[in-house]
Amino acid sequence: MKKGTFLLLITAISALGGLLFGYDTGVINGAQYYLSQYFELDPTMKGWVVGSALIGCLVGALIAGVLSIIIGRKNSLIISAILFTLSAWGSGLPEIFPETVSMLVVFRIIGGLGIGIASMNAPMYIAEIAPSNIRGKMVTYYQLAIVIGFFVVFLATYFIGNNLTEAENIQFGWRHMFWSELVPSFLFLTLLFLVPKSPRWLALKGNDEAALKVLSKVHGEEEAQNEIQEIKASLETSASKIKVNYFSKAVLFIIFIGAALSALQQFTGINAVLYYGADIFEKALGFGKEDVLAQQVLLAFVNLVFTFVAMFTVDKYGRKPLLYIGSIGMIIGFLLLGVSLQQNAVGLVSLIGVLVFTGSFALSMGPVVWVILSEMFPNKIRSVGMALAVAAQWAANYLVTQTFPMVMESEANNSAPWNDSMPYFIFIAFILMIILITYKFIPETKGKSLEEIEAFWE
């Protein structure tokens, strides 16, 4: 097998962790309307069932670092695939406990554990195996897979629901929606046995011969020899200078910057936009609330197109330029939306604002954050650093999910001068922080080996 084909194959298999991330997160959106009626959930319990997976995501991200160090990136992904499969099967179980939703929540949390582990290990594995000149593009396959996962699960749940009566959907249709995840999760689990272990993890464990063999398949013999020497030199330098003291100022600073950038991905308000999107689309285009298909297809299309733009520009123009361009675009989008809300003129301008924001996020903070996180941490602390950064992202996700409805329903937001626009101006303040942190603290990693990036922090 040619080295380019081999690299693309193992990248695509690893990126399936992102597809399942999107699929598992999205399947609850399609199923929750029917299972809420089946279990007669009140708003509090409905929120708990929908949001419970985030707890698993946070815990999964925290333990992912330890798993990654002990058993490696590949085996960690295998565990995540098993968790995805177990969650998909258990969430749609027949009526074992018809009087409670507790078992459903348990299996949703199990799925969250899988998401947390995969969201840290998949992009890191891809970054550790890809050549430096195309590493950014390879890692963005992970974000592309997330976007595709959302889109595929939407089509799957729509197909299942549309071929059943409402009564059938309430009785058992939502179970089939959960079970539909068994197909990609089992595919992910099976294909993972075809990918090699991370060469940098093998070197970290002292298995230089196996690491060189993997690098040779991806880079070719000559480049592999240079790469393994850089990895060994980096590990020796790290051992003598840092000694893996996670409480040293140098290490804490690197982890703090990574965690801040990761959390800011959620503080852009991307999930809040998707949460409130139905009302914007209804007022702007006259869509009814039942016509979710057109809304989701339009958002998914914009998201997908601009993710492709990021894929083909991240290694050409660099990570920081995309973050600057995307941040400016997100600010413009929210200004259009916010001002139109303030002026009680919700319409086409509001719609354009939502789409400009979504496209700008897909061009920048969506994929580029995963690229930077997978690159920025030194070899010795990469697993722990990325685990904490991803955990910070899930914590921020939970915070935004919980507080956005509270801010939207607050008296201050619902009256002049805000007129429902306050959250979007708060998000603009966070986006300005992204520009500042990127300018002052984020290294440009385009075209550099992971060991060259490591030298930046020294």
Q: Kindly report, residue by residue over 287-313, the tens digit of the pLDDT.
A: 655 555 566 667 778 888 999 999 999
For residue 239, count CB atoms less than 10 angstroms from its CB and return exposed for 0-12, middle for 13-18, buried for 19 or more.
exposed
Q: Is the preceding omega at residue 94 within 30 degrees of 0, hence cis?
A: no
Lowest mean pLDDT among 5-14, 278-287, 348-357, 394-403: 278-287
For residue 339, count CB atoms less than 10 angstroms from its CB and return exposed for 0-12, middle for 13-18, buried for 19 or more.
middle
**Crossing angle (nearest 10°) for helices 450-457 and 221-241:** 20
Angstrom distance (rounded) from CA 83 to CA 186: 10
pLDDT of residue 176 exceeding 70: yes
Cβ pair 238, 379 in contact under 8 A: yes
For 175-188, b where at least 16 C-beta lie within 10 A, e where not — what string?
bbbbbbbeebbeeb
Cβ pair 181, 84 in contact under 8 A: yes
Dihedral in degrees, nearest 10, Cα atoms 213, 215, 262, 234: 90
Q: Which long-range contacts (CB under 8 A, 24 or more apart) does 244-251 make?
A: 244/380, 244/381, 246/381, 246/384, 250/457, 251/381, 251/385
Give the model's confidence band at 280: pLDDT under 50 very low, under 70 low, under 90 confident, else very high.
low
Give the model's confidence band at 98: pLDDT under 50 very low, under 70 low, under 90 confident, else very high.
low
Give the DSSP letter string of 209-274: HHHHHHHHHHH-HHHHHHHHHHHHHHHHHHHHHTTT-TTSHHHHHHHHHHHHHHHHHHHT-HHHHH
pLDDT of residue 81 exceeding 60: yes
Angstrom distance (rounded) from CA 445 to CA 127: 12
Counting Cα atoms < 13 Å in the Cβ hemisphere of 189 gives 15
Write the CB contacts of 239 (distance below 8 Å, at least 6 apart in sequence): 380
Give the model's confidence band at 56: pLDDT under 50 very low, under 70 low, under 90 confident, else very high.
very high
pLDDT of residue 135 exceeding 50: yes
3-state DSSP of 321-335: HHHHHHHHHHHHHHH
SS3 359: helix
Lowest mean pLDDT among 36-40, 84-88, 237-241, 298-302: 237-241
pLDDT at residue 294, as a whole number: 61
Report in angstroms the alpha-carbon separations of 406 from 395, 402, 422: 17, 7, 11
Domain boundaries, the chain: 1-195, 243-458
Report in angstroms the alpha-carbon separations of 180 from 26, 104, 439: 12, 16, 44
pLDDT at residue 140, as a whole number: 92
pLDDT at residue 82, as a whole number: 97
pLDDT of residue 436 exceeding 60: yes
The mean pLDDT of 172-190, rounded to a whole number, is: 93
Same fold, 1-195 and 243-458: yes
- Decide if domain 1-195 falls under CATH 1.20.1250.20: yes
Report in angstroms the alpha-carbon separations of 302 from 180, 200, 295, 334: 25, 36, 11, 16
Please state, as a whole number, how many other Cβ atoms lie within 10 Å of the Cβ of residue 363: 25
Homologous superfamily, domain 243-458: MFS general substrate transporter like domains (1.20.1250.20)
pLDDT of residue 329 exceeding 90: yes
Which residue has tokens 């998401």? 115
Please state, as a whole number, how many other Cβ atoms lie within 10 Å of the Cβ of residue 282: 15
> In this predicted model, which residue has the larger pLDDT, 136 or 456?
136
pLDDT at residue 242, as a whole number: 46
Q: What is the pLDDT of residues 378-409, one digit of tens each?
A: 878 888 899 999 999 989 988 887 788 788 87
The mean pLDDT of 110-116, rounded to a whole number, is: 94
pLDDT at residue 301, as a whole number: 83
Write the CB contacts of 42 (distance below 8 Å, at least 6 apart in sequence): none
- Whole-number CA gyration radius for the chain: 22
The mean pLDDT of 58-76, rounded to a whole number, is: 93
